Amino acid sequence: MTTGMRLLFAAIGFVAAASLSTPSKADDIGCVKTGFQLIGPDNQICVQAFDDPKVTGVACHLSFAKAGGLGGALGIATDPSKFSLACRQIGAITMSNDLRPNELVFSESASLFFKETKVVRMVDQKRNTLVYLVYSTKLINGSPFNSISTVPIMPWKQ
C-alpha cells in the first residue's frame, strides 16, 4: 500500500471517528416506523428538538427520515435527505449581540462519511423575523432538499 493510500484511509478513519464521537445537541422526541425491513431495524421518521443557542425563546423541531435495514443497524446507511423543520417562539425572545449572517445553529451527521444535516439562522430585519433553513450537505453535488421555518420577533406576554 502506498503512503498516499495510507494517508487517505487514515483521514477517512479520523473523520468517521470524529463524526461518531460528536455529541448531538438535540433532544430525541420519538420515531415512527415507515417501512418493514427483514434484516435490521425498520425505516423510520424521527423527531428531534433543539434550542437556538444565541436566541433564547426559540425552539425548533426537526423531523427526518432514518434508513433501516442491515446498513442502519451497523450505522453505515446514508439517511435520505428528506426532512421538515418547525421553529416557534416559546418565550420572550432575547438575542445575542453577535448574530452572524447565515449562522449555523444545529448540525448532525446523516451518514458515516461526509453528509450532514444543518440548520442555519438568517435574520430578515425588514420583517423583524428569524428564518431557519434546514438542508443536507453531501461530498459530491450537494442536496437540493431543504425546508424553512420563520419566527416573527414579537413581545411575549406572560
pLDDT tens figures, 43-77: 888 899 999 999 999 999 999 887 766 665 555 55
| Start-end of H helices in the chain | 3-21, 69-74
Alpha carbon of residue 106 to chain centroid: 6
d(CA 131, CA 41) in angstroms, rounded, equals 35
pLDDT tens figures, 10-54: 333 333 333 333 333 789 999 998 877 677 777 888 899 999 999
β-strands 103-109, 83-95 pairing: unpaired
**Helix (H, G, I), strand (E, B), or coil: what is residue 141?**
coil
Question: Taking all residues of the chain, what is their mean pLDDT, rounded to a whole number?
Answer: 77
Q: How many CB atoms lie within 10 A of CB 79?
A: 21
- pTM, entire model: 0.72
